[in-house]
Each structure stands twice: as C-alpha cells, then as structure tokens.
Amino acid sequence: MNFLLETLPPILNFVGAIVVGFGLLISKKQAVKLGVSRYGGSDEENAKLPAVQDRIKQRNLTIVGLLILFVGLVLELASTYLS
C-alpha cells in the first residue's frame, strides 16, 4: 500500500499536466488558422502576425513544460525505487 501512495500521486500529476497541456499543443498551421481572422496572404506571412506568434509561443512553452514535468516524474520515481 505504501508503494501505491508513493508512486500514484506523481503519475496523476503528470497525467493531469498532459491533459491541461493538450489544450495548448497545436501545430503551426493550426495556430495560423486560429490567429488570422481573414483569408489572405501566405501561411508564412500570416505566421508573423502577433496573434499567431502568441499561439506559437504558448505551444512551445507547453512543450517545454511537459518535458520538465516528465523529467521530474522520472526522477521522483527513480528516487522512490532506489530508496
């Protein structure tokens, strides 16, 4: 039972962070589609617009955050198994 209480919380934290993160994980093409209110110009031109840049920044920060959470989970589980 102690094993379950030590390993379940970090796993649930990671799964919860992934669920939250999926709301921000979008492709660059989807960011252009969502960030541009008009249909004109190429995707490269539209990708330079501030709204699209903001969505791309959110996406990149989400990826970094999820990677950090994953590393933390692995380290926490490793410390649990090694002790």
> What does pTM read for this prediction?
0.64
CA dihedral 66, 71, 72, 76 (to 10 degrees): 140
Question: Tell me, what's the pLDDT at 39?
Answer: 63
Mean pLDDT of 60-69: 82
Tell me the two tokens of residue 30: 């989807």
Using pLDDT thresholds of 50, 70 and 90, give the confidence band for residue 38. Answer: low
| 11-37 tens-digit pLDDT | 878 887 887 777 677 777 777 777 766
Report d(CA 32, CA 42) in Å as an integer.
10
Q: Where are the domains of the chain?
A: 2-82
What are the distances in angstroms from CA 25 to CA 10, 39, 66, 69, 77?
Answer: 22, 23, 10, 15, 26
Q: What percent of the chain has pLDDT over 70?
A: 90
